[in-house]
Structure formats: structure tokens, C-alpha cells
Amino acid sequence: MTDTTPEQLDRVLDAAVAAAAVLRDRTPAERAGHLRAAADALDGAADRLIPLAQEESHLPLPRLTGELKRTTFQLRLFADEIEAGAYLHATIDHADPGWGMGPRPDLRRMLVPIGPVAVWAASNFPFAFSVAGGDTASALAAGCPVVLVAHPGHPRLSEATAQVLVAALEGAGAPTGVFVLVEGQDTGRALITDPRVAAGAFTGSLRGGRALFDLASARETPIPFYGELGSVNPAFVTASASASRAEEVAQGFAASMTLGVGQFCTKPGLLFVPADSPVPALVAERLRETAGAPMLNERIRGGYGQGLASLASHEVVEVLAGSVDPDTDPAPTLLRTSAAEVLADPRPLTAEVFGPAALVVEYTDDEELLAAARVLEGQLTATVQGDQGDAVVPALLAVLSERAGRVLWGGWPTGVTVSYAQQHGGPYPATTAVGTTSVGTAAIERFLRPVAYQDLPEALLPEPLQDANPWSVPQRIDGVQHP
Amino acid sequence: MTDTTPEQLDRVLDAAVAAAAVLRDRTPAERAGHLRAAADALDGAADRLIPLAQEESHLPLPRLTGELKRTTFQLRLFADEIEAGAYLHATIDHADPGWGMGPRPDLRRMLVPIGPVAVWAASNFPFAFSVAGGDTASALAAGCPVVLVAHPGHPRLSEATAQVLVAALEGAGAPTGVFVLVEGQDTGRALITDPRVAAGAFTGSLRGGRALFDLASARETPIPFYGELGSVNPAFVTASASASRAEEVAQGFAASMTLGVGQFCTKPGLLFVPADSPVPALVAERLRETAGAPMLNERIRGGYGQGLASLASHEVVEVLAGSVDPDTDPAPTLLRTSAAEVLADPRPLTAEVFGPAALVVEYTDDEELLAAARVLEGQLTATVQGDQGDAVVPALLAVLSERAGRVLWGGWPTGVTVSYAQQHGGPYPATTAVGTTSVGTAAIERFLRPVAYQDLPEALLPEPLQDANPWSVPQRIDGVQHP
């Protein structure tokens, strides 16, 4: 992997700006065609890409096959979405001399592409959150060129994926410069501070993401930076669920926390259980049956070891299963503390440890459970294992809705489907942009900005705002949605 | 005016947090009732409030009467909007074992209030962008308590308006703490850095707004800060418009730039005309007939004098009308330079001067006009006076759509209606949040965040996400919008 030079980056960004101008005049059908061509080409290249991914990520074949399917499904779902056109939020207010605050002119508002977007690939999903992943798909769907910073954890796969993607986009008639892969940490810093870049999107560590967010915010012209930075994804087991289905809960939790060697943004890292619950021992039993597995790369392996050691060294934490001084392929590890200790020192005890480790937190009553939930920081997900009649449930759901982007009932947070209602985001530090999602069709909104046109003749209006509505997009007309 | 003490602010914020929790459980009808009660009470207090506004702002009676009407209209429009419920973006994906990327769970997403909001009042609209103005109305509509920092330019009006507002909200059953007025610069800094505050909204100067944006972004937990900071609002006269209706264009421009003594965010401060155009002389003539008038306050008067002197002292700028060393009540002032000079030194020549001054920029041909448009920074508005057949128009509209939140044809940018399609925002420095608007019904989106619920039983779901849809809100169900 060779770092992109400043001169190369300069050309890449000029090309991205030029591509943005070309894309603006393309129809939704044309842009949907770009995305579908990319999906087809990636599916067609599976035989070449998947072995590279296996080699560089150490992830098992079924996982990678499923992840590539997710990636191309996502591109096609965005293609459908931009053809449907609701994402434009086309709104038409005809001139109205009788408008309540005084005569109003003809005003028409829609969303337009924000401009060239810088995307940082993540290491843990070498397809779905990397070169052709969700950020790239949603930015391209919005009509924005993408400059993608490859993740050094899978360099050959990144370059191979980019080649397939670029060839497919160009073959489908997309302008040169609509997607370019670049490499290097310095390149990333140069990108986020370049005036030609209009937004950034990132999935990765709190430290790395915050540094980029700070650069984006400190620019002379600040730009939005959509960082998905980390989450400990607490799960809460009520007394009744602990009593009635401890085995089922333990099995589900153990499977979720060890999936992908614990290397998911949504891995549950905290398990709140009643003080006398059989669940922790059952989870520990399951984990002892689960073999260690290689992590994505040495850097992540090192970070896991440090984070786990730091958590385990806390005087109120004990080890129930696994090892805090693990081998190369870490065994799943379960730790234990109490809710009283979490309330006394929340930050170190509720910090994310990226890898196959989790902390059991024992609580004495519902009041303590709610108090502990209230000290948690922003989360991607929060999970409740309870029964509808549990007195604590309404209050617990209310507290979790304030702190998490997705609240689950009776399931587990790993496995993030791509759909219309998905929300993969949450208050900081889960993300740097609490109002947004990086997964699901709403992810496109991050790369759009509104423009209103006042008193423009029909012929000069963008198609979605014309009365004739040649693209047949949904329009809100004088306050009423059609259709 | 007495600064709020840190102890008082602490109590205010605790009350705001408590109010947020109460508001979450109120129905849209109840919350709409709060807004309508506030509107009725403000209308009812016009006889007391308007004389105070006249005294403190020096603005004429018809303007203030119209502004109060706008303010209460806005509160009622948001009341209608939250009862209609489309703003929740309720989205339901039923569980689907056949979903293209693999079985999907039941997922339901909606927008929820972001939490307590800090709002800074502006000086130039003592009703519509102050205590009960657009930021307050849209935050309350979203279900967020508001802590409002009063503007020192109209302290007695601020306190009187707050008393009316608080009494009306409490009378309508809103929780204590849902709206509180605070005072002082230090109070503002304490607010934006307090962990209990979830977002900030501001209309005012670039310097003040950027300082608050920097504080909001540098927090341990950064929060969104919606600053509307300034804009020079360029207007472009094509050769044909200049030739065919110079008098009409000159009259419209002169009226727009002097409206409210030039103290509008949308005052047109740049007028691009062909080099031989009669428009500048005609504007100058109009301005000479326009009497000077007192500005809002001494601080703004001082800033205007400095900004104008700085612009006029540029060696390529000449004075066509008015005075660059004006009296207490400044006479409208017109300056002139060329597009070539703007291209050579864009920043100082295109900076906003808040007050009744504008700079004419003479261009030699369409190419130079487009080049000059391209060096402009982000704008709230951009205006074209042209004819549909003008060759330059499509390219000019494309350039302006990239740089401005609202693009006008044949009108003038002052007078910002409150409606569904309004967009009052734009790329930095027009605002700090390019994806948002501070006027119009879409302003509510700034104070909401998405939450998804996975596999929740119907009885535990928020009303807008229930299949039974008890509030009859629009829902997107399995990808299809109803209604």
C-alpha cells in the first residue's frame, strides 16, 4: 500500500468537483443505473474478492459471502430509493396572496447533493463498511462523488474492490472522478481539511474519529462529519426474564458477544442482570465452549488486549471466564462487577472493549437498574430482555430511548439489517451526528442539503419541483403530501 | 438587565431536563395547545409589547405589528404541523423472512425530541427571531424545552415577552421549565458547554456565532449548533434585464437594501450589473431620496460604521451615494467596484456590512459574471434579475444553487415567508449547519433525532409506530408511504 501523494490528491479532488457538476444533471434513472452496475460487477467479482477478504481479515467464508450480499443488496436498495424520489423531499408552496402572515411568493424546496464526500473505510466489515459499503453507497445515491480512504487492514481487497467499482461506474456512464480510492493517514487529514470536500463519513475508533471530527469542525469553513465511533451496547435482563428463561438469554448473549470475534460496532459489552441471576454462570459456561479465533489484525488485537487488561485491572472487576492475558487468538472473556460500582465509577467500567469480552453488571433492584442505565453515555443500541408485565419496563425503555439509536426487545443487537426503518447511530460517542444514521435508506440524508427556489419559471426549475412533475416524485403541495 | 447567576442557571437546566421528560409523554394535541395558547397570549399582549419594541428597537410601528403577526402565525403553523404528524417520519418495516439480504426483524423508526435547547435571541427581529421567535417555536414544537439567552438590545421587551409566554405555556398545562429566559454573555457560554443542553440555535454575527459553534464542537460530548451567521445576498442583473427594465430593477434593489435600515439577514449587499448599466445611477438616485434612520442600537451602529469604512477604504471601491462617515442615523450608501477586482481580492469586497450599504460590481461579460459568482462564499440567498432566454441563466442558477439556500428570480430577498417550502440557511458562513433551515416548518427537524425500535410489542411502542396508529400520523410501511 502506497500513500497517495499530495499532487495525486489534488487531481483526485479536482476530478471529484468536476464529477459533482456532471452528476447534478443526471436523471435518477441514470444514477440508479450506476449503483446497479456497481452491484452487478461486485457480485460478478465475488470469486476474486472473497478469497482476498478471507486472507486479509481472517473472517470465515459464510460471513464474508453474506457480507458481500448485503453490500450489493444495499447498492440496489439505494438505486430503488433514488428512483422513487421521496428522498428529495420536494415541497411546493404556490404563491398565495391570502397566506396567514401576509402574501407569500411561489416557493419550492428540495434536497440537492452536498458535494464531494470523504469516506473512511472500516476494518471490521471489509465489504459492507469499506470501499463499496454503506457510506459510499449512500453518498453516491445522493449524487455526491466519493473519495475513499482505504483501511490498511485489507489493502489488497480494497484496491481490488475499487477497481471493480470504478470500472462498473465508468461502464455505466458515470463521470470520471465519481469514485477514487486513496491511501494514507496524512492523506486523510489533508482530505478533511480541503475546501473541495463538503462532508466526511467515518466508521472506526473513538480516538481516530474524534480527531477527524475536530479537524472538520475547526476548518475555516466547517463541514459535517458523520463519525460512527463506538458503543458498549448494554443489554438489560429483568428479574422475570432471568427467572423464566436464563438459559435462552445466556445462549443469545454469548452468541451475540462472540459473533465475528466480538468485532462488531453493536457487540453487547454490558449485561445487566439481577444479583442472584443464573445467567452469568450460564454465559460463562457457553464461552468456555467457544474456541478463540484470530482477530482482524495485529493493531486491533493489541487494542483489545490493552482495553481488556485495563477493565480487568479495576479493583471491583472479577473474571468469570476466558483470560485477560490472552493468546494470539483470544478466548471469549466474561467479567463481573455490580451496579453500585458502575454508579460509583461509570466511565472506566462502561468503556467499549472492541473484541470478544463483556462485563456482567449485577443490580439489586429496579431502582438501581434505572440509575445505572441513566449514567450510560450515548449508544448505538440498547437491549431489553424482559416481559411485558415487568414494572420496570416502561421507565427503562424511556431511559434507553434517550441514550440509544436502536432499542431492542428480546433479541440481540448484532446483525444490522439494511431497510427503511433502520437506525444505526446514536448520541455521542456512538456518533458525532446524533440526527443521522449510517445504515438504512435514511443514510442518504447525510449527503444532501436543502435549496429553495422563489418565483422561478417552470422551465428553469429542477424537474422534481416542476408542476408537471416529469420524474413523478412525491411532492408536498401547499402543505398536502402527494401521493 | 441582570446576568443570570450560575446557581440560577443550574436550577433552570434541572427544570428543563425535568420538563423534557414530561413533554415526551404529552400528545401532539396537548403540545399544539401549548403553542396556540402562546400565540393567543402574545396577540393579546400586543398593546403592551409593541410600544416596548418601538422604544428599544427604533423600528417603525407597521413593521413591528407585522412582525408580531408573523411570530404568532408561526407558532400556530407549527401547532398544525405537529398535529399532522408527518414531521415524525414514522417508518415501519414489518419482520420479513424473505428480505433480500436475509431475514429482517420488525423495525420501526421515528424522530424524537433531542432534549433541552439553548436559543440565542437576535437583535434585528425583536419578535420573530427573539424570545418567542422561530428557534423557540420550532424547538417547542419538536418537544424540547428552551433556555433562551435574551438579546441585550431589547431587554425590557424580552422580559415582558417571556412573562407572557411562560404564563401562557403554564396556563395551557405545559410543565414548569419548558421555557426560561436567561441573561448574560457568560451565561451563554455556560449554557453551550453544559452537559444538560442537547443543541444550540443562534441568529447573529459571524464572530459571536462562530465562537459558540466552536464551544459546542469542542465539548467532551459535541452537540449540534445551528448558527445563522451572515450573508451578503448577491443579486445578479443580466444584460437583457439591465437594458429592458433598469428603473424597475433599481427601485426594487434600493427598497430591499434599505428595508429596516438594511438590518436584515437577507439584505442584498452586492449588485452585479453589466459595465454600462444605467442601474447603479438609478439606485443612487433612489437612495439620495431615502432619509437616514436610526439603527437598532449603538453597537450595531458602530459595527456598521466600521464595516462600511473598511469596505470604502479599499482602493478599488468608490462611493456613488450616501456617506462612508455617516451621522448617527446613517444615510443609505452605495459603493462601486468591478468584477475583475472582486476576482482579484474577493474576501474583503464580498464581506457582509450589516446596515444600509451595498456594493455595485460591474462585469464585462457573462464569463466574468460566472467567475465572480463562483468565488462567493455560502449565502442565505442569491437573486437573479434576468430573462428566460438569457444564455447565462442556466449556468448562473447552477452556480448559485451550490452557494445559496434560497435562489430568487425577479424578486428581492428581504421578506422571508414562513411556509412549508421555505429555506433560510445555506453553506457556511451563512450557517454552521448546511443541511438545515431556521425558518419554515422544516426548522423543526433541527431539534429531533431518530430512534428505531426492534421487535417491540405493540403495547410498548410509541403511538406513531403502532400498527393501530392511534394518532393517525403518516407512516411509511414496508417502503410505501401511507397516506
Mutation choice for B interface testing from A109, A236, A438 by most B CBs within 10 A: A109
Instruction: Evaluate whether B129 touches B157 at the Cβ level (below 8 Å).
Output: no
Considering only CB atoms, B397 lies closest to which of A393, A450, A460, namely A460
> What per-residue confidence (pLDDT) applies to A328?
80
A134-161: b (≥16 Cβ within 10 Å) or e? bbbbbbbbbbbbbbbbbbebbeebbebb
B101–A418 CB contact, under 8 Å: yes
In Å, how far are A77, A411, B146, B252, B281 from B288, measured between CA atoms? 61, 74, 44, 15, 11
**How many percent of chain B have pLDDT more than 70?**
100
For the cut 90, the answer to whether the pLDDT of residue A129 exceeds it is yes
- Interface check for B472 against chain A (CB to CB < 8 A): the answer is no
> What per-residue confidence (pLDDT) applies to A325?
79
A217–B218 CB contact, under 8 Å: yes
Identity of residue B406 = R
DSSP-assigned beta bridge partners for residue A381: A406
What is the torsional sign of CA B325, B329, B331, B337?
A: positive
Residues of B within 8 A of A91 (CB-CB) are: 420-421, 442
Smallest CA-to-CA distance from B157 within B76, B51, B61 is with: B51
B239-286, pLDDT tens digit by residue? Answer: 999 999 999 999 999 999 999 999 999 999 999 999 999 999 999 999
How far is Cα B111 from Cα A423, in angstroms, rounded to an integer?
11
A452–B107 CB contact, under 8 Å: no
Task: Please report the domains of chain B, with CATH numbers, ordered by start residue.
Answer: 6-229+432-482 (3.40.605.10), 234-409 (3.40.309.10)
Considering only residues 235 to 264 of chain B, which have any Cβ-Cβ distance to chain A shorter than 8 Å?
Answer: none
As a whole number, the mean pLDDT across chain A is: 97
> What per-residue confidence (pLDDT) applies to A326?
67
Considering only residues 359 to 378 of chain B, which have any Cβ-Cβ distance to chain A shorter than 8 Å?
Answer: 377-378
Span A105-126, mean pLDDT? 97
Active-site residue, from B228, B352, B362, B368: B228
Instruction: Evaluate whether A295 touches A263 at the Cβ level (below 8 Å).
Output: yes
In Å, how far are A38, A150, B100, B283, B391 from A43, measured between CA atoms? 9, 20, 14, 64, 45
What is the side-by-side strand order in the sheet with A117-120? A179-182, A146-149, A117-120, A199-203, A225-228
Side-chain half-sphere CA neighbours of A5 within 13 A? 3
For the cut 80, the answer to whether the pLDDT of residue A466 exceeds it is yes
Considering only residues 52 to 71 of chain B, which have any Cβ-Cβ distance to chain A shorter than 8 Å?
Answer: 66, 69-70
As a whole number, the mean pLDDT across chain B is: 97
User: Coil, strand, or helix at residue A400?
Assistant: helix
B265 noted as active-site residue: yes
Span B299-325, mean pLDDT? 95
Q: How confident is the model at residue A216 (pLDDT cuts 50, 70, 90)?
A: very high
Q: What is the dihedral of CA A44, A50, A52, A58, to 10 degrees?
A: 170
Which residue on chain A is closest to B413 by alpha carbon? A454
In Å, how far are A411, B193, B205 from B186, measured between CA atoms? 47, 11, 17
Considering only residues 104 to 143 of chain A, which have any Cβ-Cβ distance to chain B shorter than 8 Å?
Answer: 104-105, 107-109, 112, 114-115
For the cut 80, the answer to whether the pLDDT of residue B366 exceeds it is yes
> What per-residue confidence (pLDDT) applies to A2?
87
Chain A to chain B, count of Cβ pairs less than 8 Å apart? 240
Identity of residue B184 = G
Q: How confident is the model at residue B325 (pLDDT cuts 50, 70, 90)?
A: confident
- Interface check for B468 against chain A (CB to CB < 8 A): the answer is no
In Å, how far are A53, A129, A266, A332, A381 from A57, measured between CA atoms? 6, 13, 18, 19, 25
Residues of B within 8 A of A100 (CB-CB) are: 73, 76-77
> What per-residue confidence (pLDDT) applies to A158?
98
Q: A313 burial class (0-12, 13-18, 19+ CB within 10 angstroms)?
A: exposed
Identity of residue A33 = G
Residues of B within 8 A of A99 (CB-CB) are: 417, 419
Q: What angle do CA B235, A108, B131 make, to 5 degrees?
A: 80
A366-386, pLDDT tens digit by residue? Answer: 999 999 999 999 999 999 999
> In Å, how far is A340's CA from the nearest CA of chain B?
23
B93-135, pLDDT tens digit by residue? Answer: 999 999 999 999 999 999 999 999 999 999 999 999 999 999 9
Query: What nine digits make up the cell of B388?
Result: 428566460
> In Å, how far is A320's CA from the nearest CA of chain B?
30
- Interface check for B429 against chain A (CB to CB < 8 A): the answer is yes
A91–B418 CB contact, under 8 Å: no
What is the torsional sign of CA B154, B156, B160, B162?
A: positive
A267-312, pLDDT tens digit by residue? Answer: 999 999 999 999 999 999 999 999 999 999 999 999 999 999 999 9
Instruction: Evaluate whether A457 touches B410 at the Cβ level (below 8 Å).
Output: no
Cis peptide before A483 (omega within 30 of 0): yes
pTM of the model: 0.97
How far is Cα B162 from Cα B171, in angstroms, rounded to an integer?
14
Which residue on chain B is closest to A417 by alpha carbon? B104
User: Other CB atoms closer than 10 Å to residue A241's CB: what's the count?
Assistant: 22
Residues 6+ apart with CB under 8 A from B90: B108, B109, B110, B464, B465, B473, B474, B475, B476
Query: What nine digits make up the cell of B34?
Result: 401549548
Cis peptide before B195 (omega within 30 of 0): no
B48-87, pLDDT tens digit by residue? Answer: 999 999 999 999 999 999 999 999 999 999 999 999 999 9
**How many percent of chain A have pLDDT more than 90?**
98
In DSSP notation, A65-124 reads HHHHHHHHHHHHHHHHHHHH-GGG-EEEE--BTT-TTS-B--EEEEEEE---EEEEPPSS
B217–A221 CB contact, under 8 Å: no
A144 noted as active-site residue: no
> What per-residue confidence (pLDDT) applies to B2?
87
A115–B402 CB contact, under 8 Å: yes
A460–B394 CB contact, under 8 Å: yes
- Interface check for A316 against chain B (CB to CB < 8 A): the answer is no
In DSSP notation, B123-144 reads SS-TTTTSTTSHHHHHHHHHT-
A417–B99 CB contact, under 8 Å: yes
